[in-house]
């Protein structure tokens, strides 16, 4: 049964809050900022089969910002890749739902944790598909702070050189990284111009506007022979008023009262 993307986004946020709270884990701010992107990807864009996670013709989705895995785990469980009840084992001893994303989980292509690894790996997957004459696509979700890593810029050079128009990079551009605002740590602006200078096709969207996100993905690739970069302007902590644009929620876990308040705000 299909689920509307707006409904899925709310469910992802609710499940992730419960998971992070129960595990006394962190990174909820970055999970909430990308929830709408995940919801559109898993309802309208990615060609996947929940009952057949290793389907050879599936699109590959790679979460390079692996610390925000609670959102992807929630999306996968809600889509039926594994039982919903397993989400509450997140971060527990012996659980396959590790607090940085793990390929042991059905629907996860690649384990990430150290930032700057997802896009280079994604380039390799996209190149393999080209050389094998396969139609599946590779999508890589990056954080903005992660773009401080030089390995990403090597991959950003590599992809257009090999004409990887089956590769899509999504930047969760929430303007806050672990220790401060992007503008204070290492300024990325003008980010779109940087990608264009590296010969990517680039679009910018409101990362919480489901219609705009869906339209952005609908005509991939935007230019033949060029990889695509969707820069999604988002709000860290989106959906929970006291978490929005607050650096502290990069690392803090909500307590009981904060969890109740957040779930009340999100509704059903």
Q: What is the DSSP letter of 60?
A: E
Using a cut of 0.95, tell me whether the model's pTM lies above it. Answer: yes
> Which string of DSSP letters, residue by residue, matches 71-94?
HHHHHHHHHTSS-GGGGGGTT-TT
**What does each of the 268 residues of the chain score in pLDDT, given as a tens digit?**
578 999 999 999 999 999 999 999 999 999 999 999 999 999 999 999 999 999 999 999 999 999 999 999 999 999 999 999 999 999 999 999 999 999 999 999 999 989 999 999 999 999 999 999 999 999 999 999 999 999 999 999 999 999 999 999 999 999 999 999 999 999 999 999 999 999 999 999 999 999 999 999 999 999 999 999 999 999 999 999 999 999 999 999 999 999 999 999 999 7
**Half-sphere exposure in the Cβ direction for 252 (13 Å, CA):** 12
Q: Which of 81, 63, 62, 77 is nearest to 27 (CA)?
A: 63
Name residue 60's beta-bridge partners: 138
Count CB-CB contacts under 10 A for residue 7. Answer: 13
H-type alpha helices, 80-139? 118-131
């Amino acid at each position: 049964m299909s689920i509307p993307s707006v409904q899925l986004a709310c469910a992802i946020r609710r499940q992730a809050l419960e998971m992070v709270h129960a595990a006394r884990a962190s990174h909820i701010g970055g999970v909430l900022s990308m929830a709408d992107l995940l919801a559109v990807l898993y309802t309208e864009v990615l060609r996947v089969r929940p009952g057949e996670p290793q389907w050879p013709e599936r699109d590959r989705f790679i979460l390079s910002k692996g610390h925000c895995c609670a959102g992807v785990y929630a999306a996968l469980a809600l889509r039926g890749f594994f039982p919903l009840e397993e989400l509450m084992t997140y971060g527990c001893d012996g659980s396959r739902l590790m607090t940085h994303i793990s390929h042991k989980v059905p629907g996860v292509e690649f384990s990430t944790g150290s930032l700057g690894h997802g896009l280079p790996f994604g380039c390799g997957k996209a190149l393999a598909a080209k050389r094998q004459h396969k139609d599946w696509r590779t999508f890589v979700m990056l954080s903005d702070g992660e773009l401080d890593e030089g390995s990403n810029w090597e991959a950003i050079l590599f992809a257009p050189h090999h004409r990887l128009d089956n590769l899509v990079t999504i930047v969760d551009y929430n303007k806050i990284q672990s220790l401060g605002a992007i503008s204070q740590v290492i300024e990325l602006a003008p980010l779109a111009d940087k990608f264009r200078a590296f010969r990517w096709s680039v679009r910018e969207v409101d990362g919480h506007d489901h219609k705009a996100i869906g339209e952005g993905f609908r005509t991939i690739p935007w230019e033949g022979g060029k990889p695509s970069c969707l820069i999604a302007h988002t709000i860290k902590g989106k959906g929970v008023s006291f978490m929005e644009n607050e650096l502290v929620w990069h690392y803090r876990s909500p307590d009981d009262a904060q969890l109740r308040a957040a779930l009340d705000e999100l509704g059903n």
